[in-house]
Amino acid sequence: MATIPNSTSSRIPKKTVKDFKFIKEIGNGSYSTVFLAIETATNRELAIKAVSKDLVTRLKKISQVFREKDILARLTDCNYAAKLYCTFQDDKTLYFGLTYCPNGDLLQHITDAGHFNEETVRFYAAEFVEALEQLQNRHIVHRDLKPENILLTDDMHIQLTDFGSGVIIDNNQSPSQLDNSKDVDEDKKLLKRNSFVGTAQFVAPEILKRGAIHFGSDLWSLGCIIYQMATGKHLFRGHHEYDIYNAVVRVSYKLSDDLPKLLGDLVQKLVRLEPNERLGSEETGGMKKLKEHPFFSEFSYETRWGHLLNQQSPLEAKVKLSSRPQLSDDELKTMSSGFDDRVEARLIGLRMAADAPDELASIISGSSSISLSNETASLQDTDNRNSLSDQSMRSSSYTPSSSNGSFNNNAPVTARRLQLPDHTLSLSEQASKNIYHKFVQNNLIIKQGILDKKKGLFAKRRMFLITEGPAIFYVDPDAMELKGTISWTADLRIEQKDMKTFLIHV
């Protein structure tokens, strides 16, 4: 069973799971779940990343978990990366105590705004440049930068996270001495065409082709992120993941006609096929040369560069005090510390009665990917009214789940409201803020996320919405069109394959 090594632990405080009270789930990863927790001794809020030992062992991801810990330990004094405050473990789980960023990830802010104005793009692009410079100074290549992996602090400054794909280049190594093949072979997500959801649009071609590791890979991602901030669209697009893959490796893209000239020039100088030709690489003059690009002309070294953390972000914080956990002293005092089945049930928003179906608890609890078996699977799909088989989906993003729902095992499972304390208020807020509300028949969305719905050899991106009722709706997020629903009956049966994949038998 996996354990956390001691190689980089000397500077990281040791805790136990009993030192924390877990408040709510705030995210999911490939083999982990992230929770908001409060340290009992200090009342400090942390994001606790819980990694399943069994799963990382079965998926052969142990080295990746250790590598992420080593990188985080190296970044403890980095202004633009999530801080690793502590590590601990129990028999089943590894825990990482990280910076809690209440304003969520960059993607949700881009989605809410549609796109950022030029001032906002410039500010965050400059923070990314500063962040990448700090990574390079510590010999780190992230390799999976994307808006979902960029969190925003209380005062709306960026924090890079999810360094599981990152690498540390030793002082006696150059990037050209290393390549991406080992990690790609170990991590099949970079080989399988059906696994690029939310990633292929930002991953550099040398990573997809298993070429040499280069600091320039992060510069490529920077260019793609800047473009998405400015337009609300991906730079590389296609109907299927295979199309996106080919567009990336051929560097085939078209800039939006209304993109400001200097901004477009910056993107073009970052998104180059050869890593050493990307602006900011050592071969082009380093990060100093990137900072001198005319798009950043108002960021002089004396007044702005190096002082961005003292500047007010032009992006308004979305998180209000009322959206943070409002716990009275008595509630917090009586809340159980540690992590057990009852705590987990509370965190996933279910009051799990003794007779509640395990299958329903499993699907609502946040399993992040779905496969529909071809035994009796039937989808009401506007693309194809016939039965569909071998429907596999992989998660690319997450949203926090709602709380305090309940189910019983009365058959058949009929549509009914979850017992949420402020249902009307929550539904009203959803109607005004969630663009997918119009698709869910006025039901409260419990969980939503972008999935890759595979059909035959190819996959299509869909927004999946698990609602009260319970029901599952899926929507084409580009066309904003409802594509179908999954019937939820008493015969529904769940078969979990791993942390990201489970079968739904209907």
Could you read off the pLDDT of 61-116 as tens digits, one per residue?
898 899 999 999 999 999 999 999 999 999 989 999 999 999 999 998 999 899 99
On whether 53 is known to bind a ligand per the annotation, the reply is: no
What whole-number distance in Å separates Cα of residue 281 and Cα of residue 279? 6
Does domain 106-310 match CATH 1.10.510.10?
Answer: yes
Q: State yes or no: pLDDT of 140 exceeds 90.
A: yes
Residue of 77, 105, 112, 144 marked catalytic: 144
Give me the pLDDT at residue 332, please.
Answer: 74
Higher pLDDT residue, 392 or 323?
A: 323
Domain with CATH 3.30.200.20 in the chain: 1-100+332-347
Residue 270, Cα to own-chain centre: how many angstroms? 23
Q: State yes or no: pLDDT of 196 exceeds 90.
A: no
Q: Which residues of 153-184 are buried (b: 16+ CB within 10 A; e: fewer)?
A: beebbbbbbbbbbbbebeeeeebeebbbeebb
In 3D space, the residue among 155, 157, 158, 165 whose CA is nearest the CA of residue 202 turns out to be 165
Q: What is the 3-state secondary structure (H, E, C) of 238-292?
A: CCCHHHHHHHHHHCCCCCCCCCCHHHHHHHHHHCCCCHHHCCCCHHHCHHHHHHC
Alpha helices in 5-117 (DSSP H): 53-58, 62-74, 106-113
pLDDT band at 337 (very low <50, low <70, confident <90, very high): confident
pLDDT, tens digit (0-9, with 9 covering 90-100), for 218-276: 999 999 999 999 999 999 988 777 888 899 999 999 999 999 999 999 999 999 999 99
The CATH number of 355-505 is which of 3.30.450.40, 3.40.50.620, 2.30.29.30, 3.10.110.10? 2.30.29.30
- Segment 174-187 mean pLDDT: 51
pLDDT band at 471 (very low <50, low <70, confident <90, very high): confident
Give me the pLDDT at residue 392, please.
Answer: 31
Distances (CA, A) of 309 to 92, 155, 304: 39, 9, 9
Give me the pLDDT at residue 326, please.
Answer: 62
Give 358's DSSP letter: H
Q: What are phi and psi of 58, to 5 degrees?
A: -65, -35
Higher pLDDT residue, 428 or 42?
A: 42
What whole-number distance in Å separates Cα of residue 428 and Cα of residue 432? 6
What whole-number distance in Å separates Cα of residue 314 and Cα of residue 312? 6
Domain with CATH 1.10.510.10 in the chain: 106-310
What whole-number distance in Å separates Cα of residue 31 and Cα of residue 200? 19
The lowest-confidence range among 99-108, 374-383, 436-445, 453-462 is 374-383
| Single pTM value for the model | 0.67
Q: State yes or no: pLDDT of 500 exceeds 70.
A: no
| Homologous superfamily in CATH for domain 1-100+332-347 | Phosphorylase Kinase; domain 1 (3.30.200.20)
- Edge-first strand order for the sheet with 379-381 is 379-381, 481-486, 471-476, 458-467, 445-455
Distances (CA, A) of 326 to 100, 144, 320, 338, 495: 16, 34, 11, 20, 36
The lowest-confidence range among 21-25, 179-183, 393-397, 487-491 is 393-397
- Segment 155-171 mean pLDDT: 90
SS3 458: strand
**CB-based contacts of 474, cutoff 8 Å, min separation 6:** 451, 453, 462, 463, 464, 465, 482, 483, 484, 485, 486
Q: State yes or no: pLDDT of 411 exceeds 50.
A: no
Give me the pLDDT at residue 390, please.
Answer: 29
pLDDT band at 152 (very low <50, low <70, confident <90, very high): very high
> Among residues of the chain, what percentage have pLDDT more than 70?
70
What whole-number distance in Å separates Cα of residue 470 and Cα of residue 307? 49
Give me the pLDDT at residue 221, please.
Answer: 97
What whole-number distance in Å separates Cα of residue 80 and Cα of residue 492? 45
CB-based contact 365:495 (threshold 8 Å): no
pLDDT band at 422 (very low <50, low <70, confident <90, very high): low
Higher pLDDT residue, 462 or 253?
A: 253
The lowest-confidence range among 123-137, 148-162, 214-228, 371-385 is 371-385
pLDDT, the chain, mean: 76
- Segment 150-177 mean pLDDT: 83
Q: What is the 3-state secondary structure (H, E, C) of 407-431?
A: CCCCCCCCCECCCCCCHHHHHHHHH
Q: State yes or no: pLDDT of 433 exceeds 70.
A: yes
Give me the pLDDT at residue 240, please.
Answer: 75
- Segment 119-137 mean pLDDT: 96
Count, residues in the chain: 506
> Among residues of the chain, what percentage have pLDDT more than 90?
41
Give 338's DSSP letter: B
Q: What are phi and psi of 424, to 5 degrees?
A: -60, -45
Give me the pLDDT at residue 11, please.
Answer: 61
Give the DSSP H or E segment for 479: none
Higher pLDDT residue, 55 or 189?
A: 55
What whole-number distance in Å separates Cα of residue 252 and Cα of residue 235? 9
Higher pLDDT residue, 414 or 89?
A: 89
**CB-based contacts of 15, cutoff 8 Å, min separation 6:** 39, 86, 87, 88, 95, 97
Give me the pLDDT at residue 301, please.
Answer: 63
Assign residue 98 a region: left if phi > 0, alpha if psi is -120 to 50, beta otherwise? beta
Domain with CATH 2.30.29.30 in the chain: 355-505
- 144 annotated active-site: yes
Q: State yes or no: pLDDT of 426 exceeds 90.
A: no
- Segment 158-167 mean pLDDT: 94
- Segment 159-182 mean pLDDT: 73
